[in-house]
Chains A and B, each alone.
Chain A
Amino acid sequence: MTLLDSNYDIALYVHIPFCRSKCIYCDFFSFVPPSVNEGIIETTIISILEELEYNLAMLPSVTIKTLYIGGGTPSLLSGKTLESLLRGIDLSLRRHNTEVSGLSEYTIEANPESVTRDFLEICSDHGVTRISIGFQSMSDRLLDILKRPGCCRDNFKSLELLESSWTGKKSGDLLSGIPTQKTDELIESISVLIENDFKHISLYTLTVEDDTELCQMVKNGSIEMPKAEEEEKMWFSGKNFLENNGLMNYEISNFAIPGYESLHNLAYWKMEPYLGIGPSAVSTMPASGDTDKRVDSSNIILRMTHSNDLVKYCRGRENNWGITTESIQAREFLLENLMMGLRLRDGIEKSLFRKRFGIDLFDILPMTDEFSDDPYYYRLEGDSRFMLEKILLSIQRYTEPLSSEQIHIQWPRDTDRGK
């Protein structure tokens, strides 16, 4: 099996796995000092660029629509390293006949305390169009609880810098449901971002993930999570406040003024092909069972997950960058499409679903009240925050008996495939 090279669109993700310190709730993959130093970071960046170069060379026909550099904390890179990363990406894209300026979105993640004028200028110079900043909260007390590397002053300093030196789009991450957090504090945080012209805000609920410090603390009783009802009320106050200010809840935890949605993330939710580069990054791509990688013979979907072992990763191509590959079965893929697509307020486009799976959703499901009667979209009738889990659990009863032969996968889109 080899990745399919034909004229379809991909979302490209680059993972920078370094942070200044580990926040108690985070289960994303990153290294913190002292286990890293500038040398290790540089070596990793070189490997990332090699991996990107290799992949783009092997997929000459695909079109890169969006690019997202996430982490970790990309803003942690020194000016010199950031410069070489962005220049390297730029060159690889050019060799692939893609101009950075032709991307529909180019995002980089940053933390407030490491946003500098230098950082913003380098990003602008290399065509980055959108910056996504992890503020989490505007309260020092709450940032302390989360063991965030920065403080409130860093937040405001970064806002000032953006005001003076950034013309691109801005997105901010905030958390609700932090232990001891008050609704007023959440609203205050949102207000600050809205006042600073953020047209995209992600409002997450602090969740206790396995193997995090927070999980330990909850278990040993040193921290108490807010009661579900309280947390829910707080999040809803946040949601209402955002929507009253024109930022629509277009995905379960994401809000945007229409036209400012994250195009890159929409590709995930719509389950379009994405290529992930860097330690721990994940790709989901169409593949060909044929040795001629231009022939799409069997609708194979591959998910490739990079090892988070830097040594394995940096051994590069000889070790396939530490990638493990899983083949996604038709039924699993169908469930994933529902799981991701129903997170969106717009839901799943009916005609697209039909093309992708050769069936109508309602051919396999009994008519249920959970779905709206929208003729163009499969959409949950109410708030997907409350409904998604239930509907997915019940949907499995009907999708489970389907054999892979009954599902005719055409992915990405038949019109785009190897013609």
Chain B
Amino acid sequence: MSPMKKQDLIRNFCIIAHIDHGKSTLADRFIQKAHIVSEREFHDQMLDNMEIERERGITIKSQAITIPYKAKDEKIYNLNLVDTPGHVDFYYEVSRALSACEGAVLLIDATQGVEAQTLSNMYMALENDLEIIPVINKIDLPGADIDRVKKQIDDDLGLDPETALLVSAKYGTGVEELMESIVERVPPPDGSENTAPKALIFDSHYDSYRGVVVHVRVFEGIIRAGDNIKLWSTDSVYKVEETGIFRIGLEKTKSLGAGEVGYLIAGIKVLKDARVGDTVTNADKPCNKPLPGFREVKPVVFSSIYPIDSNDYELLQMAMEKLQLNDASLVYEKDSSAALGFGFRCGFLGLLHLEIIQERLEKEYNLGVLFTSPSVKYRVTLRNGEVLYVDNPQNYPDPAKIEKTEEPYIRASIITPEKYLGNIINLCLEKRGIQKTMTYLDSKRVELIYEMPLSEVIYDFYDKLKSVSRGYASFDYEIIDYRSTDVVKLDILLNGKPVDALSQLVYRENAYSIARSVCKKLKEEIPRHQFKIPIQGAIGGQIIARETISALRKDVTAKCYGGDITRKRKLLEKQKEGKKRMKMIGDVQLPQSAFLSVLKRT
């Protein structure tokens, strides 16, 4: 019998699941079982440590933790759980986190069954050669249909349903067996400690005292404090100050060797220098080729952020810098608008990412901000042959000079119960979708593959999909290519003056309906003033939609006697507070919600 290697006691795994299938709850159970945190310290969803994540119940950042586990063979294993983001906006981060593991727990909700993200995550896990352990979760719920899910595991996923484990993460049922299965079924990592080091960056975070903390999976060699390391994509060299593993905090170790998951601190100043997917090696004795799969994360949705109070521009700038420390996928540059003053043009991974940034600016930095209509990046070829990429309506060239415009397309995968098929096909058609395939996964459920413009998806597609399918359809997408399109710039005029921040680039055929709906929404959102305010939608000089906000009415005129004075005064004071959340555009006060309403076309 060969001597026990250190690696034999390591298991690197992740949990992959569709949103809401119980990933974070299961992670919490693992941590509790390992007793590395006392019950008092334990709070729900340990791994999701950002306030917004906890509120939304979505994991945004990859997180890792090393859980000691004493298996039936009486040996203590280190189970490295790499928690992955749970939203399509963070597709690339998920793929990198998966490649740091040898195994994946594929979690399926016993009441919901296999969904679009279950499939796409499984394919991703297969691409990375991971051992997949199917787990049926939420078996405690009355609606749990284990037989049905087992059949789906067989039919849709092509996995052996007999290997599926039954778990209730909520009550801890089956968690012990699952941990034992991880030890038994996930192969231990291999790789030699005697060759040049090669480690994958699967995430990083910023610590205000230590600088950038890089999350790595070492595949070969060993990394120690004092080593000079090189980051492959930028060729930059740093000296390692500390290595360690993830407990509830960081736990320093002498080194990180092949097969281990942990962190390193190396005086890296800004997060974007530690790129997810990049390879870390020794600067003096480098490996000869990097790990596969690295690509730069490119934002796909663009929008400008302005402070509601123009005096807050510098505060906003500071907040953006700090946010970028924790969010390498956020990119921005200075921008200005005639209506809104100075701000930033920002790129996001998707609309959820945009909303998260907005919430963080408001909650963590207490800043009132406005976002302009999100846009994709168009590829514009001018008649003189010049090619431009345009994501800001203000920079859209004079149509007379344009030879052609192209827009990004996605491949969308939708899984739905058969009875919503008609609704969903109509929705996809409305969104200019081109059906590629339609596959019956079982007698009741269908997988649809559509190609459609990204610009149709970033607004309200997901909300509409949920509403036409009563929440049953699931959705996933990836960007495929650029295709020819017909785009016009839609301007919105308030009180006769165009508000540049409300302009958007839209598909010509949709311009009328979008203009009408934006005008209507603005009518609802803009408070009444002392005067009438016309709201108009226009292409070039041509008005294509119009609404009017009539002059202010009475609310304060409701009866007021001795009993209501305090309440009425407080109401007034509160209204004034609300006014701080408004932006003056000429004579018109525009509330933040007006900008938001333009984001969502319904």
Contacts and interface: CB of A to CB of B under 8 A. Distances in A.
Given A303-B566, A336-B569, A389 B558 contact: no
B250 interface: no
A339 B341 CA distance: 34
Nearest to A382: B530
A229 B550 contact: yes
Nearest to A370: B530
Interface string A218-231: 00000000001101
B562 A385 contact: no
A386 B563 contact: no
Given A228-B550, A386-B552, A392-B556, A339 B568 contact: yes
Contacts of B530: 386-387, 390
A326 B579 contact: no
A303 B562 CA distance: 10
B103 to A, nearest CB: 50
Given A335-B569, A340-B565, A396-B572, A385 B554 contact: yes
Given A205-B554, A339-B568, A388-B556, A265 B561 contact: yes
A202 B558 CA distance: 11
A303 B563 CA distance: 10
B559 interface: yes
Contacts of B333: none
B573 interface: yes
B interface bracket (residues with beta carbon within 8 Å of A): 20 to 34
B560 interface: yes
Given A386-B552, A387-B530, A396 B557 contact: no
A252 B530 CA distance: 17
A393 B565 contact: no
B234 interface: no
A358 B528 CA distance: 35
B557 A253 contact: yes
Contacts of A274: 562
B254 interface: no
Interface in A335-379: 335-336, 339-340, 343
Interface in B298-351: none
B563 A392 contact: no
A38 interface: no
Nearest to B566: A303
Interface stretch (A277-285, A401-409, A411-419): A277-285
A388 B530 CA distance: 11
A303 B559 CA distance: 19
Contacts of A280: 563
A232 interface: yes
B555 interface: yes
B557 A205 contact: yes
Interface in A184-203: 202
A241 interface: no
Contact of B557 (A13, A276, A340, A388): A388
Contact of B569 (A28, A253, A339, A385): A339
A268 interface: yes
Nearest to B529: A390
B457 to A, nearest CB: 31
Nearest to A235: B554
A268 B566 contact: no
Contacts of B568: 339
A321 to B, nearest CB: 15
A418 to B, nearest CB: 24
15 contacts: A13-B562, A28-B563, A202-B559, A207-B558, A228-B550, A265-B561, A274-B562, A282-B565, A284-B562, A339-B568, A340-B565, A384-B557, A385-B553, A386-B552, A396-B572
Interface of A: 11, 13, 28, 202, 204-205, 207, 228-229, 231-232, 235, 252-253, 265, 268, 274, 276, 280-284, 303, 305, 326, 332, 335-336, 339-340, 343, 384-390, 392-393, 396
Which 7 residue pairs across A and B have the least CB separation, nearest first?
A207-B558, A252-B557, A268-B562, A389-B556, A282-B563, A385-B557, A396-B576
Given A207-B558, A235-B554, 6 more contacts: A11-B562, A228-B528, A252-B556, A282-B563, A303-B566, A384-B557
